[in-house]
Amino acid sequence: MTVVVGAAVAVPMAATVSAHVQQKIDQAQRAAQLTGRQHQVWLLDQVVLGRLGVVVGVLLLFALLYQVLPIARTGQTFGKRLARVRVVVAGGSRPPGFGRSLLRWLVGGLGTVLLLGLVAPLLDRSARRGWHDRAARTRVVKVARPARR
């Protein structure tokens, strides 16, 4: 889901960034032709960094609204609800709260960036808890199916 939101924001911005960078390259080429010397062009400038900041900001806001807050409040995101699992405090059955949910998300993101976090639950044979669950002292449990009438 985060990839879809990121693409929806980044793709339109990529066109404006690409046009901006191409304009800088064209200006440097014209200057080089007039002066007979090469000109250095910095492709990473205020415009590019500003657009990147907007994309990162939108992704952080989305993560807060879609993952951190629902897990803090109910222990479930939409996907976890469909999978019939929820996140709870390790020693109990209540949702983790905002601090633990935020810590869980931050450590999970770091583990994903490092790629090692993706295999950590496979290496933990006894509890199958990832780094993010260990750091936040949470665990993922199955939700009982409602009784049929």
**pLDDT tens by residue, the chain, 149 residues:** 777 888 888 888 888 899 999 999 999 999 888 888 888 888 889 999 999 999 889 989 999 999 999 999 999 999 999 999 999 999 888 999 999 999 999 988 887 777 766 676 667 667 778 888 888 999 999 998 776 66
Give 7-46 as a 3 state SS string.
HHHHHHHHHHHHHHHHHHHHHHHHHHHHHCCCCCCCCCCH
User: What DSSP character marks residue 65?
Assistant: I
For the entire predicted model, the pTM comes to: 0.72
CA end-to-end span of the chain, whole Å?
34
